[in-house]
Amino acid sequence: MRVVVPARQETPFGVRLVLLFVLALSTVVVHLNQAPALRPAGELIPDLRAGGVSRVVYDRDWPAYGTLTWSHGPLSWTQARFDQPDDVWDPRTTRLDREALRRRQEAFLAQVRAAADPSVEIVRTEGFRGAGALIGSPAYERWWKPFAPVAVTAEALAWLLMLAGPGPRYASRWAWFWMFLIGGSLLYVLLEPRPLWRGPHEVLPAPERIDGTRGFAIAVAILFGTAMAGA
């Protein structure tokens, strides 16, 4: 007896469109906010006095480790260069001296508060200890905190569609796997299993699929090119 196995249903157009919008927005946010310009921490004080800062975010363990960033706008951030002080570490045990760190941090924050306009938001984060470690790129929170879980959920759904959805047309799952690691989820949602601009009943020619080896090569080439461009 022949058994007919029903084909997997394609993801509804509206769902793909929403995913595409969120992934496109997260790509822009990460591109602009992922790697803020590095400057000495002391330059925050004149920036505050000049009135060009709207938000200051510091890690609970800064300056022992962690980061200090300040915002000139939702998509314009600066990060303090890491200059670890020696006096926050106990020379005998080599452990972090919390009291010394507290004194140094409070002294710097006193200068920050004295120079800051009352409208400037000063925020302490928990670094990798809190829930913030689970919400993906810190660029999301720098732009708009509620967007972080939305962006991560969209990325997870794109992965789920790639792994469990209808068979992709333009590349194998292994090829898409490698390309997802460098941000290919946006392209996947746009193209697979059929381009968003093509109708659901339109007959499409079978393209030459990219296999896993070529997908890996493409991912490495893009990663290398991006690194060279940013150098």
pLDDT tens, position by position, 67-87: 889 988 878 888 888 877 777
Angle (nearest 5°) at CA 66 between 65 and 67: 125
CB 226 within 8 A of CB 216: no
Average pLDDT over residues 93-108: 85
Gap between the Cα atoms of 193 and 7, Å rounded: 13
Neighbours of 92 (CB within 10 A): 6
pLDDT of residue 159: 94
**158 has a pLDDT exceeding 90:** yes
For the ranges 111-125, 161-175, 215-229, which has the lowest average pLDDT? Answer: 215-229
Q: Are 177 and 215 in contact (CB under 8 A)?
A: yes
Q: Tell whether the model's pLDDT for residue 63 goes beyond 70.
A: yes
Helix (H, G, I), strand (E, B) or coil at 39: strand
Question: What would the mean pLDDT of 200-207 be, rounded to a whole number?
Answer: 75
pLDDT score of 4 more than 60: no
pLDDT at 127: 60
Cα–Cα–Cα angle for 31, 33, 35, rounded to 5 degrees: 85
Q: Does residue 182 have a pLDDT over 60?
A: yes
Taking each continuous run of H as one helix and of E as one strand, the counts in the chain are: 8, 5
Q: Which long-range contacts (CB under 8 A, 24 or more apart) does 199-206 make?
A: 200/10, 200/13, 204/169, 206/169
Do 84 and 64 meet the contact criterion of CB atoms below 8 Å apart? yes
**pLDDT digit string, tens, across residues 207-230:** 788 998 999 999 999 888 877 765
Can you list the alpha helix ranges (DSSP code H) found in the chain? Answer: 13-33, 44-49, 98-115, 138-143, 147-164, 173-180, 185-191, 212-230
How far are the Cα atoms of 30, 76, 223, 224 from residue 33, in angstroms, in the given order?
Answer: 5, 7, 18, 20
pTM: predicted TM-score of the whole model, two decimal places: 0.69
Q: How far apart are the C-alpha atoms of 88 and 69, rounded to whole Å?
A: 20
